[in-house]
Structure 1
């Protein structure tokens, strides 16, 4: 079979077949009377073998060795190709995300694109101070794109930089709520924590809906921050998690204050009081837990907790009894 027919059937160009011949990778078995390359079935089979290995990313030199050296072991080379491919895919994914970020900012000209690229570069700096400066003082008095802020918030580990990012996001309005909320779908609990802390500082019904769903998150920190944010918005769905926050801490003082505010509604006063009393009676409640619960009773409106505190003033736990006695004295006054 002549080279033109081989090229047509194999899909490999005649030029590439000549290159294979020059390298000794696939040499035609014969020549015609006119000196044209003539390929036999074995030659064509070798061409397909070469193309198959090329599809795995092997170089032509590696392919020649693989086909001609019976002792050549593929495992090490394949393992190396896997690592190189994974790194290439990572780089391509990073490029894709960068392009999406630029596109999401809706650039009106190349200056907007260049400004976004510069911000991405600054936010990717190893220096926390440099990242913070990029947020607080963007170049040319340009506003930070909300989508870019959302992406940075979910990956930022430095507390100061994260605070600056949340401040900037709050100024940007609700445009990035969906982008930040997407972090709550992450398998990484730390990413979900960053997302919920950022969302807690944003207004709007959409945020309230997202925070409410986060009350069922498997991570206690995510649930706690969601409940504190919802409690501040008067959402009573957060009451059970706020009770748990008083029991478990931290943020028990904040949770107790929010429960006290919600208890101003008579419908919820009895529920909250009952929940606190039930926790006090729990056989697993240690001294520290009962102290926090006693302190939370003092946050209840009016004197609705007075009888319970009087009872606790005679508690077997001296620390609880002393605290309850002091709180009763305050309420009696």
Structure 2
């Protein structure tokens, strides 16, 4: 077959067939009297072999080596192609995310685009100081896209930079919560911790409450605690059981007790809290250290019931618990303008 017919049947242009000939990939076995290339059936099959390998992403040089060297095994080359493909996909995903961030920033002109790109570059810096400065020195007139901050806060390992990122993210309000909502449900516990900690700094934003409330059932105690402390400070009663559990476990028990104190400003919630604390105090399996933490938590609560419980505990069989309860009963009574009973 002449080159024109081969091109028509194979779908490979005559120009590419000549290029294959020049490279030695597919050389026609014959020539016509007039000197035109003449391809045999084996030549055409080789053309299809070349095209098949090209479809896998091999370069013409790699194809030439594969077809020329019988000892050349495909496994190593295919492995390299897989790695190359994964690297390319990663780069394309990163590019796609960057484009989405730029699009979300609603740039008015190319100058806005360049500012966002420059910020991306600074946040990718290996210098923690530079990353922190990129956030803290951002002018009010050039707000940082929430999506960019969210991505950075989820991967930042330096605590000082992470704090600056959370501060900047909190300034974005609802946009920041939206950007982190999916990460708060991530299968990676470290990602959830960072996301919930950042959202906790925006707990006053209405959209943050349902996200944090959902995390009260998280299997990770740290995530639950972060969510509960933030919700407690906002007066969300759903946090009560987790906060009581934190007091019992001694996990940020002082912070948890303060959050319970805020929640106790609502009479109905105060009754619920004191009941839970009293039940824990009456638990025969509770050790003295746990009971003392529960006693200390009672001091933070509003209402008269906590004082009644403290006065009763001042006569507890455990001498240490009794002494702590007696001392704290005096403080609560004095705060309420009463004279405490003697133990």
TM-score by length of 2: 0.88
Q: Compared with structure 1, are the counterparts of its residues 21 and 306 closer, same or farther at alpha carbon in structure 2 (3 Å cutoff)?
A: same
Cα shift readout 1:92-116 (whole Å, capped 9, x = no counterpart) = 2211111111111111111111111
Which range is displaced more, 88-97 or 131-140?
Answer: 131-140
Which range is displaced more, 123-132 or 265-274?
Answer: 265-274
Q: Compared with structure 1, are the counterparts of its residues 75 and 139 closer, same or farther at alpha carbon in structure 2 (3 Å cutoff)?
A: farther
Secondary structure of the 1:300 match is: coil
Q: CA RMSD in A?
A: 2.2
Secondary structure of the 2:133 match is: helix
The aligned counterpart of 2:325 is 324
Q: Is the 8 A contact 1:200 1:211 kept in 2?
A: yes
Q: Compared with structure 1, are the counterparts of its residues 287 and 41 closer, same or farther at alpha carbon in structure 2 (3 Å cutoff)?
A: farther
Distance 1:138 1:268 in 2: 43
Q: Is the 8 A contact 2:184 2:192 kept in 1?
A: yes
Q: Compared with structure 1, are the counterparts of its residues 167 and 30 closer, same or farther at alpha carbon in structure 2 (3 Å cutoff)?
A: same
Distance 2:145 2:243 in 1: 34
The aligned counterpart of 2:86 is 86
Distance 1:156 1:243 in 2: 31
Q: Is the 8 A contact 1:199 1:207 kept in 2?
A: yes
Secondary structure of the 1:28 match is: coil
Secondary structure of the 1:212 match is: helix
Name structure 2 gaps, 5 residues minimum: 334-338
The aligned counterpart of 1:65 is 65
Distance 2:5 2:30 in 1: 15
The aligned counterpart of 1:158 is 158
The aligned counterpart of 2:115 is 115
Q: Compared with structure 1, are the counterparts of its residues 15 and 242 closer, same or farther at alpha carbon in structure 2 (3 Å cutoff)?
A: same
Distance 1:316 1:41 in 2: 101
Secondary structure of the 2:219 match is: coil
The aligned counterpart of 1:276 is 277
Q: Is the 8 A contact 2:20 2:27 kept in 1?
A: yes
Which range is displaced more, 12-21 or 170-179?
Answer: 170-179
Q: Is the 8 A contact 1:101 1:148 kept in 2?
A: yes
Secondary structure of the 2:305 match is: coil
- The CA deviation at 1:141 is 5.6
Distance 2:44 2:312 in 1: 95
Q: Is the 8 A contact 2:270 2:303 kept in 1?
A: no
Distance 1:281 1:9 in 2: 89
- The CA deviation at 1:268 is 2.4
Deviating beyond 6 angstroms after TM superposition, the runs of 4 or more aligned structure 1 residues are none
The aligned counterpart of 2:55 is 55
Q: Compared with structure 1, are the counterparts of its residues 288 and 28 closer, same or farther at alpha carbon in structure 2 (3 Å cutoff)?
A: farther
Cα shift readout 1:159-209 (whole Å, capped 9, x = no counterpart) = 222222222223333233211222213222222222112212223321112
Q: Is the 8 A contact 1:303 1:331 kept in 2?
A: no
Distance 1:144 1:170 in 2: 11
- The CA deviation at 1:317 is 4.5
The aligned counterpart of 1:46 is 46
Distance 1:162 1:257 in 2: 25
Q: Compared with structure 1, are the counterparts of its residues 98 and 33 closer, same or farther at alpha carbon in structure 2 (3 Å cutoff)?
A: same
The aligned counterpart of 1:201 is 201
- The CA deviation at 1:284 is 5.1
Distance 1:284 1:115 in 2: 60
Distance 1:138 1:266 in 2: 45
The aligned counterpart of 1:226 is 227
Cα shift readout 1:14-43 (whole Å, capped 9, x = no counterpart) = 111111112221122322332222222322
The aligned counterpart of 1:143 is 143
Cα shift readout 1:29-59 (whole Å, capped 9, x = no counterpart) = 3223322222223222222221222222222
- The CA deviation at 1:132 is 1.2
